[in-house]
Amino acid sequence: MQTAHYKAENATLHVAEFAGNQERGVSLLKPILLLAAIIICNGSGFAGTYLTLSQAVGGVAIAQPTGTTFQTSFGNVNALGIGPASQAGVTISAQNNGAMYYSQVKAKVGCLFGNCVVNAYVSANFTHTAALVMYACPSASACNSSANYSALSTNSGAPTAIVSPAVANGTTVTIGFAFWVPDNNGASAYTGTDDATVTFNVIDTSFFNINLETDTLTFNNPLSSVQTGVQLDLATDPSGITVTAAADYSMNFGNVNALGIGVGAGLTTVAHAGGIIYSTVYDYKPAFTGFSSSNGTVKVYVSTDFAHSAVLSLYDAAAAAGPYNAISKNSGAQTQITTTASSRSTNSRYLGLFISNVNGATAFTGTDTATLTYTLTVP
């Protein structure tokens, strides 16, 4: 009898333990099924998970037409980065092969379950990708220099990390976006309007790295416009006199005379009928973008002549030894320097100051100035 009683107790204990496990299994299953129902019902985003973009201090304005869509614009752009930014809040960084237009943006991230990261990609790219490329700066960088920006992914399957490392619910960080406008002449040149859209994914790292929110930023308010750019710079050649850049350029030949005595540094003398020419080499640097042609024409004329033009005049030459030709004083018939100027090139030219050896009533000693105007034309 004792043996039978012992077995009965063991059997009872075993059944009770099994029943308890079954009960606990039911209670664990309920929240899992409930959560699955929430995911199915809220596939586009959870209440409490969000991304809000807004204007950063000194940055472009951000509009929010709906809760998950944002708009902005970078205005007019060109590969030379010349002229003021047409859109307030855009910073221009002119480089040797294009220009970067960039702006900081504030991003506030809401995370339902804990910490989130945000990735981004170009979901609707520019139509003219040879003229415009979307760049971005992640929250881990300062985003206040063009060096902080890099090309934004155009692949939804491999987006760019834009808010990383993960941030807590309600955190506001600074990110940035930029247009890279490369030099673009020839067959692929483009001028006109264009736009692009960036899509953001808010990923909750505290909950299985699930994408809990999707938002967009479109650069179409108003549409940005790619424009042509033309620029001509003068510069000091290592072998010539100094070219000083200000509102205009200036060169100082110093003391000169018709005998060529006491030639200053950077100057040479060349014999010329009726006097002498003091010559210096200088550089001219054409740059242009957005044109179907790859060559430009450079011309020059004397727009303001010397007061004593019978004694002083300006000459041009392609080589130090000449030949030197008088520079035109007619804006309608300027002296042609070249018809094959390529963009971003550095070219040498020689400017000559002729001093007449005249004596008598028309002789002159003292200071005098003249102005040359250069024109770069690209067809």
Alpha carbons within 13 A on the beta-carbon side of 96: 3
Report pLDDT for 16. Answer: 31
Using CA atoms, how far residue 346 sits from 179, 240, 324, 377, in Å, is 27, 15, 21, 16
Lowest mean pLDDT among 36-40, 55-59, 193-197, 303-307: 36-40
Mean pLDDT of 259-284: 96
Judge whether residue 258 has pLDDT over 90.
yes
Cα–Cα dist 169/1, whole Å = 67
Q: What angle do CA 114, 118, 123 make, to 5 degrees?
A: 145
Cα–Cα dist 338/284, whole Å = 11
Query: Are residues 191 and 226 in contact, defined by beta-carbon separation less than 8 angstroms?
Result: yes
- Please list the helix, strand and coil fractions of the chain in percent, rounded to the nearest 5, in that order: 10, 45, 45
Residue the block writes with tokens 């000169």: 256
Cα–Cα dist 344/198, whole Å = 32
359-371, pLDDT tens digit by residue? Answer: 999 999 999 999 9
| All domains in the chain, ordered by first residue | 46-227 (2.60.40.2550), 230-377 (2.60.40)
Average pLDDT across the chain, whole number: 89
Structure tokens at 238: 């290592």
Judge whether residue 201 has pLDDT over 90.
yes
